[in-house]
């Protein structure tokens, strides 16, 4: 993989080109940044899907699909994501590499399509088409209501909500039903105009080492009017616990398998030097099959159907999740906490360190084999203020010591325990 290049376009859009000859496609991801706020979340979540519904040039899904077929089967998709306390609207386009085609300027055609979706939405009576808005609101309401059907995801989300009560991070990425109901076509279009003209926008492109004029072409196609200076998005606050007692929350739903979720404040942000030892801590604790949680809680004690830990890197949070028998709740909770304490006490074997090192390096290598994960890596690095290359991160991981992992583990504090159990649990 070649050296990435970053350029700020005249209208304030940040463009990053990631050269990689291994892929047969060109992938372009547009990220529109917004503050994660309860009153804005549903509107933010609606916009990407509405932009994909139609433009003034391609007024419906059928005409959009026909144009993508004309571009040798290009793929367009939209999404919404949450990184720390930033809400991200995402528009993605994947094209066949121009040098693999006999003729035609497919890159320009794809960029024109992208501009149409991003900048020229279909408008009726001063707003988005009412029928499109109602259909997308109904779909989004199903997503919000449907969260409860995925019990593991639901329990993690509920733990985060309780743990981060009063913080912006508690907001669900799809928003809530109450604010969704209030959204109307004209107000949503006004919101779109504000966001597209003033919010930070990043464009990432993954393609071959040499694509003649790609940057100039993108600058030309995305040269739409914007504010002189993009508005600033509020930084994510990484909270440090102030000797607050651990919060215990229990919820009863018709489930056969209880879900136990522990929310920890890592007291470590995304920046070096502690971030890389934090990755090791999570790996040794519950990130891999060789981890302490998996081996001691699931395999040896047989107290969990599944158990794992994961980091919310931008927020400084670690979530530990297990599917358990409710009757073994106290015993399982105690054993899970003992695994965290064991790492903090320095009970890390050389085998655990090296297996974790290999696991992290392998995860990093896998990211390089996917355009979307490649983009996510560089976006995370930029948002975290690190801007490290893959090679630099690999070098940092090679240098992490057991003592550094212990130092990080001693910073980690349990904040919230959330239990989702069935109605028959005592």
273 prior amide bond cis, ω within 30: yes
Nearest C-alpha neighbor of 327 from the set 222, 426, 239 = 426
C-alpha count within 13 angstroms, C-beta hemisphere, residue 85: 21
All structural domains of the chain, each given as residue ranges with its CATH number in brackets, are 5-221 (3.30.830.10), 247-421 (3.30.830.10)
pLDDT number for residue 2: 66
Quick check: 247 and 57 in contact, CB under 8 A?
Answer: no
CA dist., res. 38 & res. 176, Å (int): 8
Pairing of strands 413-421, 317-324: unpaired
Pairing of strands 201-207, 306-312: unpaired
Nearest C-alpha neighbor of 353 from the set 422, 299, 290 = 290
Quick check: 123 and 116 in contact, CB under 8 A?
Answer: no
3-state helix, strand, coil in the chain (%, to 5): 45, 20, 35
CA dist., res. 145 & res. 234, Å (int): 29
Average pLDDT of the chain, as a whole number: 93
Model-level pTM? Answer: 0.94
pLDDT number for residue 426: 47
- What averages of pLDDT result for each successive group of 10 residues across the chain (426 residues)? 84 93 94 97 97 94 94 95 96 92 85 96 96 97 97 98 95 97 97 97 91 81 88 85 85 95 91 89 97 97 97 95 96 98 97 97 94 94 84 94 97 96 74
Tokens 């355009």 belong to 371
CA dist., res. 23 & res. 366, Å (int): 14
Nearest C-alpha neighbor of 95 from the set 104, 85, 83 = 104
pLDDT in tens, 201-243: 999 999 988 776 778 888 899 989 999 888 999 988 887 666 6
Which are the contacts of 326, defined by CB distance < 8 A and separation ≥ 6?
A: 258, 419, 421, 422, 425, 426
Sign of CA dihedral 388, 392, 397, 400: negative
CA dist., res. 215 & res. 213, Å (int): 6
Where does 179-241 show beta strands of DSSP type E? 201-207
Max Cα separation, the chain?
A: 70
- Residue 357's CB is within 10 A of a number of other CB atoms, namely 16
CA dist., res. 307 & res. 293, Å (int): 7
Nearest C-alpha neighbor of 82 from the set 413, 379, 360, 281 = 379
pLDDT number for residue 200: 97
- Residue 300's CB is within 10 A of a number of other CB atoms, namely 10
């Amino acid at each position: 993989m070649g050296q990435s290049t970053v350029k700020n376009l005249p209208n304030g859009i940040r463009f990053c080109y990631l050269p990689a000859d291994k892929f047969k496609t060109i992938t372009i991801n547009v990220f529109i940044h917004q503050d994660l706020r309860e009153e804005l979340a549903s509107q933010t979540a609606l916009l990407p899907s509405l932009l994909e519904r139609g433009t003034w040039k391609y007024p419906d899904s059928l005409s959009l699909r026909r144009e993508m077929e004309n571009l040798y089967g290009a793929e367009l998709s939209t999404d919404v994501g949450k990184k720390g306390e930033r809400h991200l609207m995402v528009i993605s386009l994947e094209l066949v590499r121009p040098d693999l085609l006999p003729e035609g300027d497919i890159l320009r055609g794809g960029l024109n399509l992208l501009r149409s979706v991003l900048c020229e939405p279909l408008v009726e009576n001063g707003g988005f088409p009412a029928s499109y808005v109602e259909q997308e609101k109904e779909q989004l309401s199903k997503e919000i209501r449907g969260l409860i059907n995925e019990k593991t995801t639901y329990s993690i989300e509920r733990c985060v909500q309780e743990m981060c009560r009063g913080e912006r991070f508690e907001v669900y990425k799809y928003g809530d039903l109450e604010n969704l109901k209030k959204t109307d076509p004209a107000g949503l279009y006004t919101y779109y105009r504000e966001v597209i003209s003033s919010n930070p926008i990043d464009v990432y492109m993954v393609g071959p080492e040499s694509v003649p004029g790609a940057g100039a072409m993108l600058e030309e196609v995305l040269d739409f009017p914007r504010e002189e200076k993009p508005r600033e998005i509020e930084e994510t606050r990484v909270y440090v616990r102030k000797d607050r007692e651990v919060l215990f929350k229990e919820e009863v739903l018709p489930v056969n398998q209880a879900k136990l979720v522990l929310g920890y404040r890592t007291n470590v942000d995304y920046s070096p030097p502690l971030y890389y030892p934090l990755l090791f801590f999570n790996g040794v604790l519950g990130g891999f099959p060789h981890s302490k949680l998996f081996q001691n809680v699931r395999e040896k004690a047989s107290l969990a159907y599944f158990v794992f830990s994961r980091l919310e890197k931008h927020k400084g949070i670690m979530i530990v999740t297990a599917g358990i028998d409710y009757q073994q709740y106290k015993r399982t909770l105690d054993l899970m906490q003992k695994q965290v304490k064991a790492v903090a006490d320095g009970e890390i074997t050389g085998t655990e360190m090296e297996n974790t090192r290999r696991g992290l390096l392998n995860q990093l290598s896998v990211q390089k084999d996917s355009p979307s994960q490649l983009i996510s890596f560089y976006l995370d690095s930029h948002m975290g203020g690190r801007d490290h290359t893959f090679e630099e991160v690999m070098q940092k991981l090679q240098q992490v010591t057991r003592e550094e992992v212990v130092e990080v583990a001693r910073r980690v504090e349990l904040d919230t325990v959330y239990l989702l159990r069935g109605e028959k649990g005592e």
